[in-house]
Structure 1
Amino acid sequence: MVSPVPDDSPSVWTRGDFPDESVWSFELSATARQSLIDYGRGGPSADLSRRIGAQVARWAELLNGGPGFVRVRNFPADELTEQEIAHAYLGLGSLLGTPVGQDRDGNVVTHIRDERIPAGPTVRKYRTNLAQDFHSDGSDLVGLLCLHPAKAGGQSRIVSAHAVYNEMLRRDPHLLDVMYSPMPWSRNGEQGPGEQPYFELAPITDIGGIPRIFFIAWYIRDSQQHSSAPRLTDEQLAVLALVENIANDPLFHIEMEFQRGDVQWLNNTTVLHSREAYLDDDEPSLRRHLLRVWLTADTPLANELLRGGIPTPRAG
């Protein structure tokens, strides 16, 4: 039995619902910028919360009970050192949730850039300049701070996971049911000692009566490289393709350009995001560079297996 469709939820939207960016794009005020500068240079967290908490509360409303995304412009990247930027960015994120680890080393800030290493099954795509189809990350919320855009390409696209859900229900209710059953996911080299190289999880889990969607199609397809993983059925492969087909329809998604100092915040359970392939400058200092944080929200949004990020492996 498919769960009720959130037809009236603000998390259901298509491109036509946003004729301009004013609903989801915000400029940091001079006061907010100075607050982040002060905090990045060692100021107390209480001051940061007091000075910009009201602005952040508005973003949280849109992330948790609205369309599920915002873009915040004018982060003071030009005013801070690299270490101060990361500190201020974590401070800003901590007003929305608790930062969690994004890899086996427990890093809470990840550098998103092309490391110019050969692509492979254990190389996560954010370390390359390759396109990433629509997916979600392993946390309640995800933030991306742009330190430098690409020379060409690299556009961010976002789509309402619940609009995709509704369209799947309209086109093929049976395939939507398939999303509620466990599928194998490759750990892509992030497993701890003694762990299987894959795990099993249904891409849709109802939490509080709301479908929460976790989707990374290439992780599911990559599971087939492990002989011990269950084989994907024709229906499972078909539903992965259906999600990608709907999400990539220009009528459903919107594009979000990144400039230096832009921060994109997304609700991972109601929004899927993608990235176009990109071309970098030959000069290293001019290459595309983003900082990513994963956050656990005060109110659980994602499946409990996911919302804590990637745990650091215990010693075996």
Structure 2
Amino acid sequence: MTGMTDAGEALHTPCSGPSVWRGGDLANLDEWILRFSSRQLAEIDSALREARRRDLTLLKLTAADFPLPTLAGELRRIAQVLEHGRGFALVKGLRVEQLGEPAASTVFWGLGQYLGRPVPQNAAGHVLGHVRDTGRTLTDPATRGYQTRVALPFHTDGADLLALLCLRTPRTGGRTSLVSSAALHNAVLDLRPDLAKRLYRTYYFDRRQEHPPEEPPYADAPLAARPGGALSMRYNRCYLESAQRFPQVPRLEPADLELFDLMDEVAGSPESRLDIDLEAGDLLLLNTHTIMHARSEFEDHDQPELKRHLLRLWMALPHRPRSDGARDGVAPRDVIRPRNAASQAETNPRRLPT
């Protein structure tokens, strides 16, 4: 592996601050769990009515079209926690069963407008994602994690912020786990200082066929960077290893695999990770620079209308300098040809639901 980055003092200085936490310390606390009040839910209902009155396409809906006079301040506070605090928040209580999927999608999009700028999640340019099992496996180079029910190891996503709204839960399994990237960084530094420098090397990630024809099918980036002193972590072992199928990509060295093994072991330990069983109406928000997430395998319901279903937004932080490793999602291809009318309707709705 080539491309050693001069990480300077970062190789010897542990991360500090509220982004460094251990799941074992948070498991019995509720400071990271928020709940929409009845007044806030009424405000969301009012914003939904106003959005419908304006009769805009969902992609054109802005915060101004989804007015939240008092809740906007709370969302700004949450945004500060995501960017400068522990890096995640769980907000409970959205009445998704009463809203139904189309209206819940509008509410989810409207709330997201107060947190960041939605960015594409795939090469087709879809910005409102649907997380559900499609029967694919991760061994298929075209498969992405949100399309399968198999367990997903700890990883980061391709945008600054990740938002998930749970509409329906599976029959069993599907537990979400979070880990502090800064705490993981410190553990590597403490346990294997000889491997810590490899966090700052350039690695190659498989783009899983989500790239423009004129660009390479892999992307290069270090696992860790500290622009301005704040840690930004990028990790997806599945994509790191599947990028080895390209002959142009330098071969992973034994020490690289040792590093990956150590990261996976620390992240998956009960002391490090925070386990969350998402319920219908839960809104999970993550800063992908400072939080890694995983999901256990799940068994779904037989009835299609009961199957596990989450809505997903990837968002960019407008104020984050692009030179600081900001993540803008997947670059869309020039021509978008939906496979069928149903996929077009669910990902690019023409009008807000009534």
Tell me the TM-score normalized by structure 1.
0.94
- Find the partner of 1:37 among 30, 42, 45: 45
Bigger shift: 303-312 or 178-187? 303-312
Report 1:54-93 matches (<5 A).
54-93=73-112
Q: Partner letter of residue 36 of structure 1?
A: I
Cα distance per residue 1:15-63 (max 9 Å; x no partner): 2322534210111011221222333344374463323112112212221
The structure whose Rg is larger is: 2
1:179 is aligned to 2:199: yes
- Structure 2 equivalent of residue 195 of structure 1: 215
Aligned to 2:34: 26
Structure 1, gaps ≥5 residues long: none
Choose the corresponding residue for 2:283, options 256, 263, 284: 263
- Summarize the Cα distance change of 1:301–1:237 in structure 2 as closer, same or farther, 3 Å threshold: farther
2:315 alignment counterpart: 295
Match of 2:125 in 1: 106
- After TM superposition, list the pairs within 5 Å mapping 1:144-183 onto structure 2: 144-183=164-203
Provide closer, same or farther for how the CA distance between residues 123 and 306 of structure 1 changes in structure 2, counting only shifts above 3 A: farther
For residues 90-115 of structure 1, give each alpha carbon's deviation from its aligned partner in whole angstroms, at most 9, with x where no partner exists.
11011111111110011111100001
- Partner of 2:265, secondary structure, is helix
- The 8 Å contact of residues 137 and 150 in structure 2, kept in 1 or not, is answered as no
TM-score computed with the length of structure 2 as normaliser = 0.84
- Residue type of the partner of 2:180? S
Quick one: structure 1 residues 166 and 309, their matched pair in 2 at CA, closer, same or farther if it must change by over 3 Å? same
Query: Could you tell me how far apart the structure 2 residues matched to 1:55 and 1:90 are?
Result: 17
Equivalent residue letter for 1:34: A
SS at match of 1:179: helix
CA distance in 1, matches of 2:223, 2:322: 11
Contact 2:125 2:333 in 1 (8 A): no
- One-letter amino acid matched to 1:87: T
How many residues align structurally? Answer: 315
Name the counterpart of 2:21.
13
> How many Å separate the matches in 1 of 2:259 and 2:137?
29
Contact 2:44 2:68 in 1 (8 A): no
User: Which amino acid in the other structure matches residue 30 of structure 1?
Assistant: S
Decide whether aligned partners of structure 1 residues 270 and 301 sit closer, same or farther in structure 2, where only a CA change above 3 A counts: farther
Output the CA distance in 1 between the equivalents of 2:145 and 2:190. 32
Taking the aligned partners of 1:135 and 1:303, their CA distance within structure 2 comes to: 22
Matched letter for residue 151 of structure 1: R
Paired with 1:42 and 1:83, the residues of 2 have a C-alpha distance of 15
Q: 8 Å contact 1:99–1:296 — kept in the other structure?
A: yes
Structure 1, 7-16 or 74-83: larger mean CA deviation: 74-83
What letter is aligned with 2:290? Answer: T
Find out whether 1:248 has 2:256 as its counterpart. no
Report deviation, 1:11.
0.3
Aligned-residue identity in percent: 30
1:280 aligns with 2:300: yes
Dislocated runs of 4+, deviation >4 Å: 301-306
Deviates more, 1:297-306 or 1:65-74: 297-306
CA–CA separation in structure 2 for the residues paired with 1:118 and 1:139: 23
Measured against aligned partners, the alpha-carbon deviations of 1:153-208 in whole angstroms (never above 9, x if no partner) come to 00000011000000100011221111111111111110111221112111112211
Give me the CA root mean square deviation: 1.9
User: Post-superposition shift, 1:125?
Assistant: 1.9
Is the contact made by 1:184 and 1:220 (CA closer than 8 Å) also made in structure 2? Answer: yes
User: What aligned pairs does 1:231-246 form with structure 2 within 5 A after superposition?
Assistant: 231-246=251-266
Contact 1:49/1:95, CA 8 A, preserved across alignment: no
**Runs of 5+ unmatched residues, structure 2:** 1-7, 55-62, 336-354
Deviates more, 1:42-51 or 1:133-142: 42-51
> Which region of structure 1 is more displaced relative to structure 2, 284-293 or 221-230?
221-230
Q: Secondary structure in 1 aligned to 2:226?
A: strand
1:207 aligns with 2:250: no
Query: What is the aligned partner in structure 1 of residue 155 from structure 2?
Result: 135
Matched with 2:342 is none
Residues 204-241 of structure 1: CA deviation (Å, up to 9, x unaligned): 12211122101111110110112222211122222111
Q: Distance in 1 between matches of 2:316 and 2:14?
A: 23
Q: Distance in 2 between matches of 1:285 and 1:50?
A: 35
CA distance in structure 2 between the aligned counterparts of 1:81 and 1:134, rounded to whole angstroms = 31
Q: Is the 8 A contact 2:316 2:326 kept in 1?
A: no
- The 1-side partners of 2:241 and 2:161 are apart by 24
